[in-house]
Amino acid sequence: MTSTAQKNNFKKILLKWNRDKNSRIMPWKGEKDPYKIWLSEIILQQTRVEQGLDYYNRFVKEFPEINKLAKAADKKIFKMWEGLGYYSRCRNLLATARYISKERKGKFPNSYKEINDLKGIGPYTASAISSFAFNLPHAVVDGNVFRVLARIFGIKTPPDTTEGKKLFNALAEELLDKKQPGIYNQSIMDFGAVVCKPASPLCQSCPFNKSCFAFLNDQVQSLPVKRKKITIKTRWLYYFIPEHNGEIFIHQRIGKDIWHHLHEFYLFEAKKKISNRQVTEQASKLASGTNLLKISPVYSQQLSHQYINAVFIHLYLKRKPFLLKTGQWVKKKKLQQFAFPGVIRDFLKDF
Q: What amino acid positions are annotated as catalytic residues?
A: 41
**DSSP code at position 227:** -
Instruction: Name residue 19's amino acid.
Output: R
Q: In DSSP terms, which residues pair with 331 in a beta bridge? A: 247
For the chain, the first-to-last Cα distance in angstroms comes to 61
Contact assessment for residue 287 and residue 319, using Cβ atoms and an 8 Å cutoff: yes
Pairing of strands 263-264, 299-302: unpaired
* Full DSSP string of 240-268: EEEEETTEEEEEE--SSSTTTT-EE-EEE
Instruction: Name residue 344's amino acid.
Output: I
How many whole angstroms separate alpha carbon 1 and alpha carbon 19? Answer: 29
Q: In DSSP terms, which residues pair with 168 in a beta bridge? A: none
Q: Is 160 helix (H, G, I), strand (E, B) or coil?
A: coil
**Is the alpha carbon torsion for 30, 36, 38, 41 positive or negative?**
negative
Check whether the bond before 198 is cis (ω within 30° of 0). Answer: no
**Is the alpha carbon torsion for 51, 53, 56, 58 positive or negative?**
negative
From the list 134, 290, 153, 124, the residue with the least C-alpha distance to 214 is: 153
**DSSP code at position 294:** E
